[in-house]
Structures are given as C-alpha cells and as structure tokens.
Amino acid sequence: MMLFGFRVSNAFVPIDGTLSREDELVSLFVRKIGILNTRTGRCTLRLSYRGPVALNWATSNDAGDYIVKKSNSDGVIATGSYSHMIARNSFELADFKDVQNKSDRNNNQHQKPSEDFSLIQNGSTTVEEVSNGNSRKELDLEARAARRKQIEDFFTDPVIPTAEESISTMLGKFSAALWDKDFMREVYEYRRLPRPPARGLAPLSYEWLTLNTYSGLMQSIEQETPGDSQEEAGIVQTQDTETVDLSDQLQGSEEFDLCSKDQQKSEHRTSWFVRLFCCGATSSPKKVKQEKETKSKGFLSQDEQKLDGDENRKKRKLSEGISPPNHKRARENIDESQMTDSQRRANFSAISSPSNGLNKHVSPLANNKPGATKKLVIKNFREKPRLPENFQQQTWEKLKESVEAIQRSTSIRWSLEELYQAVENMCSHKMSAQLYDQLKEVCDKHVRCNVEQIFACLYCKFFLTFFTENVGFEQFLKNVDGCWQAHCRQMIMIRSIFLFLDRTYVLQTSSVMSIWDMGLELFRTHVMFHPLVQKRTVDGILQLIKRERTGEAVDRQLIKSLLRMLSDLQMYVDAFEHSFLEATESLYAAEGQQLMQERDVPEYLAYVDKRLHEEMERLLHYLDMSTKKPLVSCVEKQLLEKHLTQILQKGLDQLLTENRIKDLTLMYQLFSRVKDGLKEMCTAFATYIKVTGKTIVMNPDNDAEKDKDMVQNLLDFKDKMDNVIDVCLSKNEKFVNALKESFETFINQRQNKPAELIAKYVDTKLKAGNKEATEEELERLMDKIMVLFRFIHGKDVFEAFYKKDLAKRLLVGKSASVDAEKSMLSKLKQECGAAFTSKLEGMFKDMECSKDFNLSFKQHMQHVDSPGGIEMTVNILTMGYWPTYTPMEVHLPASMVKLQEIFKTFFYSKHSGKKLQWQSTLGHCVLKAKFAGGEKKELQVSLFQTLCLLLFNDGDEFSFEEIKTATAIEDGELKRTLQSLACGKARVLLKNPKGKDVENGDKFLFNGGFKHKLCRIKINQIQMKETPEENTTTTERVFQDRQYQVDAAIVRIMKTRKTLTHNLLISELYNQLKFPVKPADLKKRIESLIDRDYMERDKENQNQYHYVA
C-alpha cells in the first residue's frame, strides 16, 4: 500500500555524517521503504509500506504545494508547498504525479493488507556487514537508549493523541512481537512523563527535501527486484511475507539488525513520521528546530571549509569531530565507527542502482507486487557545494519580484518551491535578518499603497456624498473589506514562501514578529490606525447596525468580515466595541424613554422582548461573543432597569386585574433578567394585593350586602392570584410569600369582621339544603376557606361565631352532613390545635349522648304515669361547650312542667353531680290543631309560639297584655312570636287591628278558617335581626375571653421571668397572644394585675415589674 509519495532530488542521506534526527528519519525512510529511480543528479524517493495502519498519503498539485493526509477520510492535516524539483533537476512533474496516482490506486487495490510492511532490502547479505554478537549486544543497549530518546523526541510533537491512536491500533497488530511490547511500554511510560511545552514545529518535509540543494552531492539508491518481479521503476516495492524471513536471515548483520529494528519501529511510527513531516509545517518543538539549525550549519561549515579534498572522508571526520548533541547522534556515531571505511564504501556502492534509466518509465503499479526486496545505497558527496556569486542579490531580486507579483495578484515567474528554496538558502547563509528587513520593507510599501487606494475611495466617497450618501459609506466598507481580504491572501502566500524564514530566524529572534503578525501590524499601523479610515470604518459599521435595528436589511456578511478584521487586528474592543455600546446605549435610552411614554405596558414589554431577541441574533451573526454580556446588560439596563418602577406603576395592576397571563409571564421573564427586577415586581405585586384586598375587605358603611359577598370575593381573588403565581411567576418563592403576607395584612386591617364572615360563610355551606356542591367540591371549598382562615389573626372571633352557628345547626338538626362537619372540624384542629376545637368536639359529643339518653328515657317513660299525649326529647348540653344562652323563665303548661320533673328525676338518678337548667328559648314543638271545616294540621313551632297557641285552647281572643301575663315571655320576644303567628305567611292567629307590627294593646283572635295546602306546616319564628345585638354580644364575649387570656399570659410570663421591663413584657406578650391587641389594652391588664397584687412595679424604676408570689 503506497502511503506516501515523495521524491528526493539528489537524495542525500548522510548516514556517515553527523546525523541529526531529520537525517536519521530520511535514512530510515530510505532503508525501510524503497528508493527507486536514481539517476545522476536527481533521485526520487518513494516511500511506501504496507500495513493495516491508517493511510497517510500526500498529494501534490501543479503549484508544487503538497497536501498530506493521514487517511483519505481525514481532512488535510498539513499543506505547504515545495519548490519544484523538476525545474532544477529536469525531472518531470508528470512522472511524480503519475506515481502518485498509481499509489492512490494501489491504496484501493490493496484490499487485504499484509501483516507488515515489506522490508526494502536489496542484496543485503552481500552488502551488510556481519558483526560479532558482543558488540551487537552493546550496540543494542545503546540503541535502546537512543530509541528512548527518539520516543521522547517524537512525543515533543504536540499532536500526540493521533500518534497514540496509531500506537493502539498497531499494538493490537503486533502484540506478538516482544520487542513491540517493550517499545510500547517505553512509549507508554514516556507518555506519563511531563512533556516540555510544544512550540512551533519546523517543516521537516521541506527540510529534508532541501537538504540536497547542493547538487554536487548525490547518492544513488538502488533497488533490486528479486525473482520474476517486473518492477523496473523507482517504486518502492514492499513485500510483507519476506520481511520476517529477511530479518531472520540477517540477524547477524549489525547493520541489518539495526535496520530491521528501526524498520519495525518505524512501522509503528510510520504514521508519526508522516505526521512529523506533515505537522512540521505548522509547529515543531524547539529542540527539533535547534537540531536542524545545527545540522544545516554543520553542513554549511563543512561545505565552506572543505571545498577541496575527499569530501566524504573529510566530512565524516568533521562530523565525528563535532560532538553529537544528542543520543541519536551518539548512536549513529558509534554505529558508524563500528564499520570500516570499506564496508561503508561497499555499502554505498552496493546501493547504487544499476537500473536508473529504467526506473523512470516503470509503472508504479508494480508496487503491488509482493516479494520485492529493496536495497538502499547512499553515496557520499562528490563535490563541494559552492555559493554562487551575487547569490544574495539575485535571490532577493527573485523573491522581491515574486512578492510584488503576489501583491499585484499577477502570476509568479518562479515555482513556489524554488522560491521556498531560495529563502531557505538565504537563511542558511545567514542572510535571515537582511531578508526579513527587506521583506518587511516591501510589505510596508505595499500596505502604504493600500491606504492610498482606500483614500482614493474615500475621495471618491466625498464626491458621492453629494448624491447618495448611503452608497458612499457602504462602498467604503466594502473597499476596506476587500483590501483586508486581499492583504490576508497575500500575507498567507508570502508567509508560505518565507516559511523557512518564519520558522528559523523569526522564531529565534524574539524582537521580530512572525511574518503574519508583521503583516497584521503593518495593516494596523498604516491602514486602520489612520484616523480617517478607522473612524469611517467604525462609523460605517455602526451605521449599518443602526439601519438593521431600524428594520432594514443589511449585508451581515460584510459586517461580520469587518468585525473579524477588527478583532484580528486587536482593535475590536478599543475601536469598535466601546463606541458600539455607546451607540446602543443612547439608542435604547432614547427609544425606551419614548416608547415607555407612548405604549402601554404589555406592548412595551413585547417590544423589549423583541429587542433583546434581535440583539442576541446580532451577537450570533456578526458580533464577537465577548460583547454579549455588556451588550445584553446595556439593553436590559436601558429598556428595563431604568423603567422598572414606571412599568410596574403603569402596568402591573392592570395586568393583574385583567388577569393577562401571557403578559405577566413575559413581564416576569424580563424582570428576572435585571438586578432587583423581581424584588421590585414582588413589592409591587404585594402592594397590588394589599390594595385590592383592602377594597374587598373594607366596608366603611357596614353595608351588609357587600359583607355578604366578601368571603366569596376573597376566595376568588385568592384563586386568581394563585393562578398568576403558578402560571406566570413560575411559583417563585418570594412571590408566594408576598402573597401570604399581603393577604394576612389586608384581611386583618378590618378587625374581627372577616373572621365572623368566614364563619358565617362556612355555616351557609354546611347548612342543610345547600345542594349546590357535591361533597368533593365542598371539601375543596373548605380547604380554600382554611387558607383564608390561616391569615386571620383573631381566630377566637371565628371560633365564637362558628360555635354559635354550629350550635344552631346541631340543635335544629339543619346540618347538611355529619361528615362535612367532622372534616371541617378536623381541619380546624389541624390548623389551630386540639385546644381550639375541644369545645366544638364536645358539642358533637353532647348530641350523641343526648340521643342515647333519650332512648333510655323513652324506655323509662313506659313505666311512669305521664301526662298524656306529649312526647319529649331533651338535648343535654354541657355548659362550657355551647354558647351561653340567657335562660328565660316562662310559664309552661302544667303537663309540660310535670314532664320536665319526670325527666329531671330520671336524669339525676343517672348523673347525680349535675344540674339541669332548661333553655326555653331553644325548644320547639309540633302541635296538632283542628281548624274550622275539620282540617287537621300539624304545626311545627317554637316553644314560645306553642305557649301562645296553647292559650287559645281556653278562649278565642286575647289581648297582648293578657298573653304576656299568661306566658311571662319577655316583651320583645313575645312581639316577635305573635308577629310570626299573626302576620307571617301561615296566619293561624288574626290580629286586631291589622298591621305588620305587633303593638301593645293589640288583640289576637284564633283564625278558625285557616287554610293551607300542606298538612305539616312550619311556622318560622321571626329571626331577631342578628346584628347588632347578637353580634356585639358575641364580640364582647370574645373580648372578655381575650382579657382572661391576656391576664393569663402576663402572669405566665412574669412567673417565669420574675422581673421584666415593660417593653420586654409587651413584646413577649405579642409573641404569645394569637389575636390582635392594642398596647393600651395590654397596659390596662397589667395595671389591673398590679392592682390585684399579682405583680408590682419596681419602686425605683417604673419601667420594671416584679412578679408577686
């Protein structure tokens, strides 16, 4: 498999000279691979080997550039150019290309790669020396050391991972060989060592190619084809199968041994070799570079000093005399010293090819043939190279002309390779500094010309401004861009030619810039630092960007290219970014200001979002990413941060009121971008809730209608805000807390009423006949109510009203469902603790006990003589659990009193320690009544109503006063009772005179002609208007309870603290008390306790209290 095609004109492989690494590499190539087609004066070196290794191959184009690829699939890893050998050595390019093509084809044809690359060995037995075993062993050791060094050197190649890859691939292939393992181990061990930092790698490929510019020296390389090989041309013939045999055969031969080892080694490293060659174009470790330097210097000095005499011998001597700089050289030297001169000669002569003439014409296809054995013969210099007269001048003229041609974009008279060689020669002859200066001068001149060109364009622009300003500056930008592109192209080309200069002189001299940098510098100083050009350019770019911001389409590519130029010239930040940000800032400051005025908030937010989006796009398309942070923050600052308060003031309330989810989401997203944005928004959000909530809660006129809807409104409002937080504000913790706090604040701004209303709201929901909700809905509703309840400070108020309502529900049996009641109770318990609900639970317990007790009473009644026709059910209510009812003494009919007595005795027989008190206000009865026409009705009425109606058993007409004395019902109550009987819907009594309200002196008649479609009629007692009396009593009771709680708390605190200052006591009290209290109220309680000797004031310090035991 042909991997790499190269030709070496006048290949020189100084095996006997001072060998630097490059030399060694060449020789390795020459030895291991194949060399064909040697002729006097020129030589083609073709490297080929077979193996499963990744393909590395090179192509060359007409211009003399070469491209080296690691494999076909890989990208180009190095490019370069080398001077045409043909031009100087009358070698046909076509030939080379041909070979290459063939080799490509061979690549494809070799479907099954043999295990190894074939050893190029030609008549090795005759040529190679057999040295004795001892010396070989020694050599072996030394060779190992040297190899180690080699490994090190290879690894100074910065592109090591690829090498590693190939190592691993090969490791699999050659694991059988012990040596390989050793080698690999060495390699791996070495890999663990810290490596010196890599610097640029010199273009080795050039190096060893151009080693041979001294054409007088020549080496012949010969290859013999064994057997019936058809090979005639100088194509490396690789033979896999024979390799092993040969190496076995030739083990005795030191040269071969070395060779074969090297060969094996190089097989592993072939890819690295190639890499080394290739990568040389881009970077090389300093060491390598230095070696090169010494090497080339060595040659030069040789050439200069030993112009006459036997060059080979002298050279060898000289090289031996010069102490080798590294191990490799040492090895080579020893290696060499082991050989006799004659051996070497024989070696060389043996290598010299007899079939030069033929080789040229033979097809590279022959390459494929297996079993070919090659031989490498390297001859010494025949004559001493001589520096031509006027060398420097001529060469420079040539180079200058070429450079100018490049700058003019015209064709170059010389091949690029030739130019490259010229540069190298000049460098080799210590003309680097001069060359550099001259080159710089030429470039300088050209760049100055550029400025003039641009100026020409500028002047042109001045004329144009009169007509079309826009075209003017765009054209100018294009010109600048064109100028820059051209400059880059030219500098790349020039650098390629002067690569050697760049890699040697420039790298070693720290004071000068590399050619590329020099080009940049020149461009910077002459073109871009020109104030007019710079200003025009930057202004132009800004103008374009401004246009784009106003919505026009602009040439983004142009902007991008120009900005790239600026950043390449390191002017991006100074020249552009600063003014760009300024322009952005002023633009958005003005725009933000204006639009804030003109547009309403949602529109404005949408606009800000759009702008941010656009700027991000701008960043993506042409701005440098380093601008991202300042740009985005600039836009955010100008459009958002400055208007935060205004946006919030103007828009947030509206958005929240209208429940505009999308806009709110956008607002949240935008505000989260700016510092303090969310904080401000959160504050505004809280304020909105407080204000809105306050309007719901506050009711200065005590309008009952409004209070009725308050709880429902609150629930709706809470739902809405929860939804906003969930959807728009991404459940931000801050906002959730703000919501809670705000609710707590506004709900408690009105004392007690919200708690009362919530209790009543629950009552309506839990009352029987409320069929609007299913159980689940009811459950959910109660959960929501509990949330509201949680906000309320005066929970005792809630409890009082809830208890009152619950008592009503229980006694009248109106409760919708016991389950719902119980679940509400458990919720309250969860929220406020067992103490809070213990009384409520007691009420439920009472009801259950009463049920049982009534059953046993009924059984008891069967054995007792009872006044006929009356059944009685009694609910026994424990005093503390139930709301306090003022007992009212009324005159009951004798039968009822009798029944009560029976119950009393029965009860006391069961519960001796208890006392019964009858609550006549809570009683209700079912009466059977006969009306005229024989209609029998059942009247469901209250006890008071019953008392009034029973009177009419004895007569048909009674006055108000008569009824009052008979029943002893309290005035107002009696009026209400009679009103319900005589003025309500079902009028079982008639009033005289007629009227809605009952007055003193009114007379009441039995309504004999009463008619009603139902059999059982419920006559509702006219409800006392609940407010204000009942309400105030409840509230007052709550306050009274609170006083006790405060007293208890004070005593508790003082008891633990013994002595406490006033302020501490107050703050402690606020911690303990769960309801709102005024400080003055607390003071009153404190004074009362002082008065009652629970505590005393300190005699000296009136701010301090002592606990009195």
Burial of 20 (0-12, 13-18, 19+ CB in 10 A): buried
Site string for another protein, 956-995 (x = CB under 8 A): ----------------------------------------
* Of positions 130, 1061, 1073, 1074, contacts another protein by CB under 8 A: 1061
CB of 1035 to another protein, least distance (A): 21
Residue range at the interface with another protein (CB under 8 A); choices 69-77, 297-305, 397-405, 1089-1097: 1089-1097
Burial of 65 (0-12, 13-18, 19+ CB in 10 A): middle
Tokens representing 560 are: 């991008």
Residue range at the interface with another protein (CB under 8 A); choices 9-17, 221-229, 314-322, 1060-1068: 1060-1068
Find out whether 370 and 114 touch, Cβ atoms under 8 Å: yes
Residue range at the interface with another protein (CB under 8 A); choices 551-559, 771-779, 981-989, 1055-1063: 1055-1063
* Of positions 398, 1062, 1074, 1106, contacts another protein by CB under 8 A: 1062
CB of 906 to another protein, least distance (A): 49
Choose among 21, 68, 20: nearest CA to 47.
68
| CB-based contacts of 55, cutoff 8 Å, min separation 6 | 1, 3, 69, 70, 71, 72, 107
Site string for another protein, 1019-1038 (x = CB under 8 A): --------------------
89 versus 1104: smaller Cβ distance to another protein: 1104
Q: How far apart are CA 821 and CA 462, in angstroms?
A: 91
| CB-based contacts of 803, cutoff 8 Å, min separation 6 | 839, 840, 843, 882, 883
485 versus 1067: smaller Cβ distance to another protein: 1067
CB of 1103 to another protein, least distance (A): 5
CB of 1043 to another protein, least distance (A): 14
1080 versus 1109: smaller Cβ distance to another protein: 1080
322 versus 1090: smaller Cβ distance to another protein: 1090
Find out whether 235 and 96 touch, Cβ atoms under 8 Å: no
CB of 1086 to another protein, least distance (A): 8
Residue type, 829: K
Find out whether 217 and 12 touch, Cβ atoms under 8 Å: yes
1020 versus 1067: smaller Cβ distance to another protein: 1067
Choose among 194, 102, 119: nearest CA to 156.
194
| CB-based contacts of 1025, cutoff 8 Å, min separation 6 | none
CB of 1005 to another protein, least distance (A): 52
Token look-up 């603790």 returns 833
CB of 1076 to another protein, least distance (A): 16
Could you give the 3-state DSSP secondary structure of residue 868?
coil
Find out whether 538 and 575 touch, Cβ atoms under 8 Å: yes
CB of 1057 to another protein, least distance (A): 15
As a three-state string, the secondary structure of 328-357 is HHHHHHHHHHHCCHHHHHHHHHHHCCCCHH
749 versus 1103: smaller Cβ distance to another protein: 1103
- Please list every residue from 863 through 892 that binds another protein, using CB under 8 A: none
956 versus 1096: smaller Cβ distance to another protein: 1096
546 versus 1062: smaller Cβ distance to another protein: 1062
Angle, helix 628-639 to helix 601-621, in steps of 10 degrees: 170
309 versus 1079: smaller Cβ distance to another protein: 1079
CB of 1042 to another protein, least distance (A): 17
Counting residues that bind another protein (by CB under 8 A) gives 18
768 versus 1108: smaller Cβ distance to another protein: 1108
Phi, psi angles (nearest 5°) of residue 992: -135, 120
Could you tell me which residues are beta bridge partners of residue 78? 68
Residue type, 417: E
300 versus 1066: smaller Cβ distance to another protein: 1066
995 versus 1079: smaller Cβ distance to another protein: 1079
Give the Å distances, CA to CA, from 161 to 183, 190, 411, 673, 902.
17, 14, 40, 43, 109
Residue range at the interface with another protein (CB under 8 A); choices 529-537, 654-662, 705-713, 1095-1103: 1095-1103
Q: How far apart are CA 95 and CA 118, in angstroms?
A: 24
Q: By CB under 8 A, is residue 1058 in contact with another protein? A: no
Give the Å distances, CA to CA, from 1011 to 442, 927, 984, 992, 1017.
128, 16, 14, 19, 11
CB of 1107 to another protein, least distance (A): 15
CB of 1099 to another protein, least distance (A): 8
- Please list every residue from 674 through 703 that binds another protein, using CB under 8 A: none
Q: How far apart are CA 989 and CA 109, in angstroms?
A: 125
Find out whether 297 and 18 touch, Cβ atoms under 8 Å: no
603 versus 1087: smaller Cβ distance to another protein: 1087
CB of 1094 to another protein, least distance (A): 12
811 versus 1095: smaller Cβ distance to another protein: 1095
Find out whether 935 and 915 touch, Cβ atoms under 8 Å: no
CB of 1062 to another protein, least distance (A): 3
> Could you give the dihedral angle defined by the CA atoms of residues 143, 149, 155 and 157, in that order, rounded to the nearest 10 degrees?
-100
CB of 1044 to another protein, least distance (A): 19
Tokens representing 272 are: 């690295």
* Of positions 1066, 1073, 1074, 1076, contacts another protein by CB under 8 A: 1066
Give the Å distances, CA to CA, from 623 to 94, 582, 964.
48, 15, 99
Tokens representing 819 are: 């389950």
Residue range at the interface with another protein (CB under 8 A); choices 235-243, 639-647, 1023-1031, 1094-1102: 1094-1102
> Could you give the dihedral angle defined by the CA atoms of residues 625, 630, 635 and 641, in that order, rounded to the nearest 10 degrees?
140
Q: How far apart are CA 145 and CA 152, in angstroms?
A: 11
* Of positions 629, 886, 1091, 1109, contacts another protein by CB under 8 A: 1091
787 versus 1066: smaller Cβ distance to another protein: 1066
* Of positions 964, 970, 1090, 1106, contacts another protein by CB under 8 A: 1090
Helices (H), 863-983: 894-910, 943-951, 960-967, 971-982
Q: How far apart are CA 739 and CA 736, in angstroms?
A: 5
Angle, helix 795-812 to helix 818-832, in steps of 10 degrees: 160
409 versus 1103: smaller Cβ distance to another protein: 1103
553 versus 1080: smaller Cβ distance to another protein: 1080
CB of 1050 to another protein, least distance (A): 13
Give the Å distances, CA to CA, from 817 to 5, 679, 707, 772, 924.
99, 46, 26, 14, 22
- Please list every residue from 1068 through 1087 that binds another protein, using CB under 8 A: 1079-1080, 1083-1084, 1086-1087
228 versus 1093: smaller Cβ distance to another protein: 1093
Residue range at the interface with another protein (CB under 8 A); choices 629-637, 646-654, 964-972, 1061-1069: 1061-1069
CB of 1098 to another protein, least distance (A): 10
Instruction: Write out the residues near another protein by the rule CB under 8 A.
Output: 1061-1063, 1066, 1079-1080, 1083-1084, 1086-1087, 1090-1091, 1097, 1099, 1102-1105
